[in-house]
Homo-oligomer: A and B are copies of this chain.
Amino acid sequence: MDIAIPLYDQFTALDAIGPYEVLSRLPDATVHFLGADGTGPKKTETGMLTILAERPLEDFPHPEVIVVPGGFGTRRLMEDEATLEWVRGAHATSTWTTSVCTGALLLGAAGILDGLKATTHWLELESLRELGAEPVEERVVRQGKVITAAGVSSGIDMALTLAAEIAGPEWAQGIQLGIEYDPQPPFDAGSTRTAPPEIVELVRAAAKQLA
């Protein structure tokens, strides 16, 4: 089973690596990191981390699974017709088409989320609406073979859900135990429901400054 994760400059590392760590442990699965804007080194948005995208998108026109990670770089890719064409073509034959964080914006720009419920990073939910989707504030949203996940770390939960669909709940649980995913964050600030309102405002303000 070929699992394609397109990378591009200014992606968010955990968006891609969370699902990789889960899905690479599936039986007979190979995760391919593909260069959406050419092959070679891809830098994360901080510029501190470089991952190699060793093959171009064209080498895998029909992967069984697509995982589109998010990051500032999606804004640029949303206007890149070659990437959008690949996403459309891959989705036409995929078993599962998925995204993490603002990766959903790329699915939306490709027309895949039209009329579907979908999610993304909480700061970008309204952008989804502009792309024809119905934004939903849930961690993992499944609509047929399309699964979108919320911000950054939610890709781990999405991938475990997907692992259960692909290989059954025992495999998914085995992988969860293998990566010891027994979350115990020291704070309960991971969503706008639970974070103190002043923290939500701080993050909103910081995001506006970056935009």
Give a binary string over A181-207; 1 marks a CB under 8 Å from any B CB, 0 the rest.
111111101111111101110110010
Number of this chain's copies in the complex: 2
Are B48 and A50 neighbours in the complex by a CB distance under 8 Å?
A: no
Q: Which of A83-91, A110-118, A127-135, A150-158 contacts B (4 or more CB under 8 A)?
A: A150-158
Residues from chain B with a CB closer than 8 A to the CB of A160 are 185-187
Bound Cα distance from A169 to B180, whole angstroms: 25
Cα distance A18–B13 when bound, in Å? Answer: 9
A181 touches which of B24, B190, B198 (Cβ 8 Å) = B190
Query: Is residue A82 contacting chain B, with contact meaning CB distance below 8 A?
Result: no
Q: How far is the CA of A21 from the CA of B154 in the complex (A)?
A: 13
User: Can you offer 7 A-B residue contacts whose CB atoms are under 8 A?
Assistant: A14-B17, A24-B48, A41-B52, A151-B178, A173-B196, A174-B203, A177-B200
